[in-house]
Structure 1
Amino acid sequence: MTPSRTTLRAAVGTVSAAVLAATVLTGPPAAAVSPAAPVSAATATRTPGSVKFIDITGDGGVVLKANVSTPAGADGTRRYPVIVLPTSWAMPQVEYLAQAQKLADAGYVVVGYNSRGFWQSGGQIETAGPQDIADASKVIDWALAHTPADPQKIGMGGVSYGAGISLLTSAFDKRIKAVAALSGWGDLIGSIYSGRTQHRQAAQLLGGLGELTGHPGPELRGILKDFLGSNLAKEQDMITWGKKRSPATYIDKINANGAAIMLGNAWGDSLFPPNQYADFYEKLTGPKRLEFRPGDHATAEGLGLLGLPNDTWSHTRQWFDHYLKGTDNGIDRAAPVLLKSRSTGAYEGYQSWRDVPSGHRKIELTGTQRIRTNIDSGANGGLVFLSSMLDQFFRLPPMASIPLLPRSVAAVWESGRYASEQRVRGTTRLHTTVTGTAESGTAIAYLYDVGPLGLGRLVSHAPFTFHGKTPGRPFGVDLELFSTAYDVPAGHRLAVVVDTVDPLYIEHNPSGARLTFSSPADDPSYVSVPVREGGQPSHKA
C-alpha cells in the first residue's frame, strides 16, 4: 500500500535536524517580503521597480502562483532580458525574491513561480514531467505578453527542482538562450539509483516533503512505493520514468538549441551526486560552465537566496549578463571548470573535466577477504544534508577508526604512507571480483584519509547492488565513487573499506549471506585514485 503521511513524516524525522538546517540555508523566510494580494494576469499592472504577486495559467489551465520583478524605471518604452525561475522541490514562491530583486535592479525582468503541485499552485506534482516543461513555456509566454521582456533574450534558472525543469525546458523551447542550473540533475536515475542501489534517505526526504507541502499524484506515489519497497518487477518502469525526466535523455535537443548552460553543484550533494552532473557537462557542445564546491544539496548557493554575498549567484549573474546582455565580463574566457577544494577552500580552474586529474594512485586490493552482511561496521556516509554541511562549514566529514573496524564485516585495504600531499581530484574508480552466497547483495565502498592514529576521514564513497547472480560464482564489479576535491596530508595513508550496511541506502543482502572479495592473477583488483600532481594555481571566485 502507499506510504501514509505518518510513515513519510517519520521518514523525514530521521533527518529532521539536517532538514531544518537545509531549510535555513535554502529558503528565505516569508517575513523577508510583504506579499500583496494575488492578482490575475490581466490586471497585473507594475510600478517601476515593483514586485507583484500574480496568477499565471499553466498547461491545461492549472494556476501557477508567481511573482514578477521589473527594473526600476521600466515604462514600456524598452525591452529587458527576462529570467524565469521555477521553485525548488517543496519551496514556496518567495524562494528567489532576494535574487530576483537584485537581478531586476541590474536590468532584468524576473518571473519566479511555484512549480505545479506545490503550495498554492494547482495540479499534482509531476516531478519534472512533460506538464512541468509545458508550464515553463507558458510562463515565458506570459512574460512576453505582460512585461517589457525581450523575446530574443530569455533565460531560465533555479535551484534543485528548478534547475532540472530549466534544463529540460531548454531541450524543448528554442527561445531559451541561457540556463543556470544549480544543484540539479542531468541523470535522475544515476542520482538516486546509482549503483543500482536505492538512495533511501534521499527518496524518503523528497517523498515526505512532497506530501507535506504539495499534492503528489498517483504516479509519483506509485513510483516511490515501488522504489522504497524494492519492487524489482517494476524496476524497468522506474528507470523509464526517470529517463523521461532526465536532461541527459534529451542532450541532442539541448545541444541543437544551443543555450549557454552553467551547472553548479556540491561535492557532497545527497540527492544529486556530482558524477552525474560532470558526465552531463561533458556531453554539452554549446557554451558551458561547471562549478563544484563543498557542501550538500543547495547549500553552496543557499545563503545567496537570503540576499547574502555568494559566489555561485555572482557567477550566475555574470553568466546571464554575458549571454543575455552581451556584457564582456570575461566569463566566456575563464576556465570553464571551477572547483573549490574541500580541504583548503581554494578555487582551481581547468579547461575540461577530463583535465582535472593529472595522474592516478593505485591501491592494490590484494588477497581474499570474506565478510558477513547485514551488520554495520561503523564505516558509513553519514546523514543526508547534515554530514556534508559539517564538512562544508567545519571540515568535519564522517569519520571512522580504521584499526577498530571489525574485519568480519568490513573488508579493509590500506596504502603505504605518502611522503607528500596527495591532492585527490575527480572520480575514484574501484575494480574488484565479488563472490556472493546469494543471488542478490549490496556493498558500499569507502575511501578514507587515515592519519597517524588510525582515524579515517571520509574522502568519498558509493554503493553497488547486484541481482540475478549465481551463488558461488565470481563476477567483476566496476564502481565509480562520488567525485571530490580533497587533500590528503603528507604522512597519511588512504584506506579502502567495503561493508554492506549504510543508513543512506537500501541494502539487498539476505540474512546470513556472505560476500568474498578476491584479486585473481589474470584480473587483479584495485582502486584508482585521481590526483593532481604539481602546482595548480588557485583562482579567485
Structure 2
Amino acid sequence: MKPADPSDPATPSRPTTPPVPPVPSPPEALEAPEAPETPEAPATPSVPGMGSLYPELDAVALGAFAAALESGDTSGLPPARAAEVEAVRSVAVFSRGRVTGAGGVLLDAALWRRKGSGPRPVVVMPAPWTNLGWVAYAVRAGAFAARGYDVLAYTPRGFGASAGRADAAGPLDVADGSRALDHLLERAAGPVTRIGFLGVSYGAGIGLLVAAHDPRVDAVGAFSAWGDLGEVLVENSTRRVGAVGALLASAGRARLGPGTERVLEDVLAGRELGGALRWAEERSPFGHVKEFNRRRLPVFLSHAWHETLLPANQTLKLFDELTGPKRLVLSVGDHAGPGAGGLLGLPDRVWTDAHRWFDHHLMGLSNGVADEGQVAAEVMWSGTVEHRPTRQALTRRVRRLHLTGGGRLADRPEAGWTAGLLCGVDTPTAVADEVVRSGYAEMAGRPKVYRAGDIDRAVAALWVGAPAEDTLRLRGTPRLRVTYRAANPGSSFVAHLMDLAPDGSARLVTHAPYSDLGSAPDSLVGADIELQATAYDVPRGHRVLLVMAGRDALYADANLPRASLAFTSPEATPSYLDLPLG
C-alpha cells in the first residue's frame, strides 16, 4: 500500500471498523478521570531492589512536563523542556481524559491533536508495566506531535488511574488498543492518512498484538518487547523465576487479573506449566507472524543484549520470521534501558531511529531508512554501532571449540574425560545481582567484574581457550552441545560464556540455562542449546571462558540438594561450543 499523500486535501479518513464489537464512547471527547477501583493488591515475592522495571524513569520530571503541557505554565521546567512544551503547544492541542475500553472499562489517557484541518498520520502509545501510566510518554508523544502526528497515549487496564484488572496483553488489552484507536480517529481534526502503534515493554507487546489483530494499523514500533512470551516464562525447560518474580513485585499497586496472577504464581511454584504456556501462546506476537507477513507490516524492534526480563533470543525469533520491512536495534543494557534517556527528552539514537522509521512508513518521507539495512547492533563496551543488511549477516563464520579434559577449549575433540560439579551452591558467576538494574550499570559503563580465581571448581566446571591472537569478534548466537550424567531425576545447569583477561578478571558475554526434567537417574543427558545472541569483541591476549554452574538465582533449580552433575564428551557425540564470528 502506498503512503497517502499528506498534501492531498482529498485524502479520506481511515475506516474506523474495529475487529471487535464497539463499546459506546462517552459523550464528551475527554472527561475528567474517575478514581479506579482499588481492590487489594496481590501478594508478590520479594525481589531485592525491585520497585520498578524502569529505574531511569523520573516520575516527578515527567509529571511536571505533562502538567505544563496542560496549563502552559513552564516556569518550573528546565529551559530545554520548557522550549519543548512551547513548541508542542504551538502546533497541537493537549488534553487529558479517558478512553472507554472493552466492557466499558475507563482507561486513563492523553491526547495530542494537531491544529488545523489538514491530513495527518496518528500514533497510539500503550503505556509500560508501571503505575506511572501514559505519563511515561509525556515528552516523547509531544515530540511526535511536533513532527506532525496526532497522538493518543493511554494506561492499560489495571495500572495507574485506569480501571479494570490487568489482562497481561490478553484479548481485553488487544480490544482496548483498538478502542483507543477508535477514540483517536473520532477526534482527529483532519483526515487520518496512516496509523502506527508504538510502545515500551508491556506497551510494546500490546502494540504488536493490536497490530496483528487490527488491519487498520500500518506500522508498529516496539522497545523491549517480547516475541514469544512462553520463552520468557520457561527457557530451555527452565523456569525463569527471577524475571517472573520481578514482574509480580514491580506490579506494585497494579490490579492484576486473577488469571494473570495465577499464571505467574504457578510458574514461580513450578505447577501447571502447560496451562501457563497455553496462556502465554495467546499473548505472543510470534504466533501472528503470518498476519504480519500477509500485510507486510513494517516492524521496528529495539532490544538489549543482556536483557534479564525478556531475553533477546525470543524476540529475535520473531524478527527473523518477519518478511515485511523491519528494523532491529540492539544495544548494551537491560530491560527498557535502550531508549530510557529518550523518554526523558535526552538525545537518544534509538528514539531517533524510531522517529525516522515512522516518518518513512507513516508520512512517506524519503529519509534513507529503507537503505540502511535491517540491523543496527551496538558492540558491547566499544561504543560502536555496526549496520548489517540482515541479522544473519552479523555472523560470517563459526568456530568450533571442543570441551576437553583438563578444562581446555580446543580445536579437536577429546573423549574419555569427566568434569563434575556439586549442585545447590551459589557461585560468583551469577548472571545479574539484580534483575534489570544490573544491566543499567552496564549502560553506565560499569559491567560486573568476575574473578575467575574466586570460582570454586567443586561447584562449577570451567573450560578456557587459548589467548586470542587477534581480536575475536563474536557476532550472533553461540551454541553449546554438551553431554552430562545426573545422579538424580531432574537436573539443570547454567552456561556462562565469559571474556577472561590476563589479570584473571572476567566479563560476562552471554549465557543460557538448561533443564532436563524427565531422564532416569544416572543416565546420560544430551543438551543442545543456544546461548543468548551477542556482539562482543574479545581483545587480543584475552581468553574465552566457559563456566557451567548448577545454580543461578535467575532460574529455578531442578537439581536435588547436594546432587552432582558430571560433564563428559562421548566419542560419538562430542561436547563443543560454537562461536559465531563477524
TM value normalised by structure 1: 0.91
> In 2 relative to 1, CA 261–26 (structure 1 residues): closer, same or farther, beyond 3 Å?
farther
Please tell me the residue identity of whatever aligns with 2:260. L
Contact 1:26/1:299, CA 8 A, preserved across alignment:
no
Q: Deviations over 1:427-475 (max 9, x none)?
A: 1111001211111122100011111122211111111111011111102
Aligned mate of 1:369, from 419, 426, 434: 419
Letter in 2 for 1:393: A
Residue 78 (structure 1) shift: 1.5
Q: Does 1:195 align with 2:236?
A: yes
SS of equivalent to 2:230: helix
1:181 paired residue among 218, 222, 240: 222
Asked if 1 retains the 8 angstrom alpha-carbon contact of 2:499 and 2:508, the reply is yes
User: Structure 1 residues 113 and 393, CA, compared in 2 at 3 Å: closer, same or farther?
Assistant: same
Aligned to 1:538: none
1:46-445 counterparts in 2 under 5 A?
A: 49-71=92-114, 74-75=115-116, 77-90=117-130, 91-148=132-189, 150-210=191-251, 212-231=252-271, 234-366=272-404, 367-382=417-432, 383-394=434-445, 396-445=446-495
Q: Note if contact 2:452-2:505 (Cα within 8 Å) is conserved in structure 1.
A: yes
Q: Is the 8 A contact 2:306 2:333 kept in 1?
A: yes
CA offsets 1:146-178 (integer angstroms, 9 cap, x no match):
123644400001100111011111111111001
Shift of residue 361 of structure 1?
A: 2.6
**Contact 1:335/1:350 (8 A) holds in 2:** yes
SS in 1 for 2:522: coil
1:392 shift after superposition? 1.7
Cα distance, 1:363 vs structure 2: 2.2
Give me the whole-angstrom Cα distance separating, in 2, the residues matched to 1:57 and 1:502: 44
| Structure with bigger gyration radius | 2
Conserved? CA contact 1:381–1:398, under 8 Å: no
Gaps of at least 5 residues in structure 1 are 38-45, 533-541
AA partner of residue 451 (structure 1): A
Post-superposition shift, 1:499? Answer: 0.6
Question: Could you tell me how far 1:226 is from its partner in structure 2?
Answer: 0.8
Other-structure match for 1:502: 552
Alpha-carbon deviation of 1:397? 2.6
DSSP 3-state at the match of 2:218: strand
Amino acid at match of 2:109: A
- Aligned counterpart, 1:531: 581
State the alpha-carbon separation in 2 of the partners of residues 484 and 122 from structure 1. Answer: 40
Superposition deviation, residue 238 in structure 1 = 0.6
| Match for residue 489 of structure 1 among 539, 547, 551 | 539
Give the letter for the 1:454 counterpart. G
Q: What is the RMSD computed on CA atoms of the aligned residues?
A: 1.9
Q: Equivalent residue of 2:421, what SS?
A: strand
Q: Please give the secondary structure, in 2, of the residue aligned with 1:11.
A: coil
SS at match of 2:370: coil
1:360 partner SS: strand
Whether the 8 Å CA contact 1:25–1:302 is kept in 2: the answer is no
Query: Are the aligned partners of 2:377 and 2:535 in contact in 1 as well (CA < 8 Å)?
Result: yes
Structure 1 counterpart SS, 2:222:
strand
1:379 touches 1:399 (CA, 8 Å); kept in 2?
Answer: no
With over 3 angstroms needed to count, the CA separation of the structure-2 counterparts of 1:149 and 1:425, relative to structure 1, is: farther
Task: Give the alignment's TM-score, normalised by structure 2.
Answer: 0.85
Give me the whole-angstrom Cα distance separating, in 2, the residues matched to 1:522 and 1:148.
Answer: 70
Q: What is the Cα deviation at residue 11 of structure 1?
A: 1.4
| Structure 1 range deviating more: 507-516 or 110-119 | 507-516
Contact 1:295/1:391 (CA < 8 Å) preserved in 2? Answer: yes
Q: Is 1:24 matched up with 2:57?
A: yes
| TM-superposition CA deviations, 1:207-264 (whole Å, max 9, x none) | 1222x23111111111122111111xx1110110111100001111121232211111
Residue type at the aligned position of 1:84:
V
| Mapped partners of 1:227, 1:287: distance in 2 | 35
Structure 1 residues 326, 11: CA separation in 2 closer, same or farther (over 3 Å shift)?
same
Q: Distance in 2 between matches of 1:32 and 1:502?
A: 41
Using the alignment, how far apart are the partners of 2:123 and 2:386 within structure 1? 29
Give secondary structure in 1 for the equivalent of 2:447: coil
Answer whether contact 2:476 2:580 (CA < 8 A) is retained.
yes
* Cα separation, partners in 2 of 1:249 and 1:55, compared to 1, 3 Å: same
Counterparts of 2:493 and 2:319, CA distance in 1: 28
Residue 23 of structure 1 and its aligned partner are, at CA, apart by 4.2
Alpha-carbon distance, 1:5 to partner: 6.0
Q: CA deviation at 1:503?
A: 1.7
State whether residues 50 and 250 of structure 2, in contact with CA within 8 Å, keep that contact through their aligned partners in structure 1.
Answer: no
Aligned residue identity for 2:101: G
2:522 to 472, 482, 502: 472
Instruction: Write the distance in 1 (CA, Å) between the matches of 2:375 and 2:524.
Output: 39
Task: Classify 1:389/1:336 alpha carbon distance in 2 versus 1 (closer, same or farther; 3 Å).
Answer: same
Distance change in 2, residues 1:150/1:246 (3 Å): farther
Pair 1:27–1:418, CA change in 2 (3 A): farther
Contact 2:123 2:196 in 1 (8 A): yes
> 1:526 corresponds to which letter in structure 2?
Y
- Deviation of residue 414 (structure 1)? 0.7
Q: Is the 8 A contact 1:192 1:199 kept in 2?
A: yes
Return the alpha-carbon distance in structure 2 between the equivalents of residues 407 and 258 of structure 1.
52
Q: 1:42 — aligned with what? A: none
Which runs of 4 or more aligned residues in structure 1 lie more than 6 Å from their structure 2 counterparts after TM superposition? none
Structure 2 unpaired stretches of 5+: 1-39, 72-88, 405-416
Maintained 8 Å contact 1:109/1:148: no
- Over the matched positions of the two proteins, sequence identity in percent amounts to 33
Structure 2: how far apart are the matches of 1:109 and 1:171? Answer: 21
Superposed displacement of residue 48, structure 1? 5.3
What is the alpha-carbon distance in structure 2 between the residues aligned to residue 23 and residue 416 of structure 1? 40
- d(CA) in 1 for partners of 2:344 and 2:322? 31
Instruction: Give the number of aligned pairs.
Output: 511
**Residue 308 of structure 1: how far off its partner (Å):** 1.2
